[in-house]
Amino acid sequence: MNRDLFRCIKGNYIYKSISPLEPGRPLVALTFDDGPTRRYTPQILDILDAHNSVGTFFVLGSLAVNQGDILARMSEGGHQIGIHSYDHVSLIDLSDAELYHELISTQEIIEEFTGEPAQIMRPTYGFVDSSLLSRAPLPIILWSVDTLDWESQNSNLIYNSILDTVKDGDIVLMHDIFESTVEAIRLAVPALINKGFQLVTVSELAQYRGVSLEPGKIYSRFPPPETP
């Protein structure tokens, strides 16, 4: 690991100031799975940073292990990192040893590069069963807006899937492995802000809505109290 590179990257972003949340304005958590990728993840971070916004990245340990500088940049920029898995296998029907490998090896990589363990996880494919729920060491974060970006890989469709449906407290699912997702975000982030949304991490969203996240429980959105 190149410590000098780390310091340089941290120096560029450590002074970024995140605006305090304004009460009454709607909140949304943009989430990105299956990265980090050298090609796309930094572009998404650039877009979020330029708009003083943050996102949540559910990473693969197998990719993160070689992208420590990107993890460090996420952490220093106020973005949140969650565990997706080590190599994108389904987390159901795994032995204890297999599940341990998928989660703990990824956690160790995140902790090595950011100094902090991940606080949340998102199982691959959103697959959850009772065995995983009982063994999951972290809160399980799913989503309430599915952009289907992996399926369409069309930036207009991805943009519309966000802007047409997003509500206060939603969690939006995307993947930081497609050019079309980057292009959609380039327009969607300022458009969301123009609509009054504040872009926050999953944990910020939960905290702001008074929800204490618990291991082995599933969360897909955090609506305001008055919303059914």
Q: For residue 194, which amino acid is it?
A: N
Q: List the one residue from 27, 28, 34, 178 that touches Ni ion (CB under 5 A).
A: 34
CB of 118 to Ni ion, least distance (A): 15
Q: List the one residue from 9, 27, 30, 33 that touches Ni ion (CB under 5 A).
A: 33
DSSP secondary structure code for residue 95 in this structure? -
x/- track of binding to Ni ion for residues 101-130 (CB under 5 A): -----------------------x------
**170 makes contact with Ni ion (CB under 5 A):** no
Please give the Cα distance from 117 to 69 (Å, whole number): 16
Pure H helices in the chain: 3-13, 41-50, 61-64, 68-76, 96-114, 130-135, 149-152, 155-163, 179-194, 202-208
Closest CB to Ni ion among 33 and 69? 33
**176 makes contact with Ni ion (CB under 5 A):** no
- Annotation marks residue 49 as catalytic: no
Catalytic residue among 49, 79, 149, 175: 175
- Annotation marks residue 33 as catalytic: yes
Which region among 32-40, 178-186, 197-205, 212-220 touches Ni ion (by CB under 5 A)?
A: 32-40
Pairing type for strands 170-175 and 218-219 reads unpaired
Beta bridge partners of 58: 33, 82
Please give the Cα distance from 34 to 228 (Å, whole number): 31
Q: Residues in the site for Ni ion, rule: CB under 5 A?
A: 33-34, 124
List active site positions: 33, 175
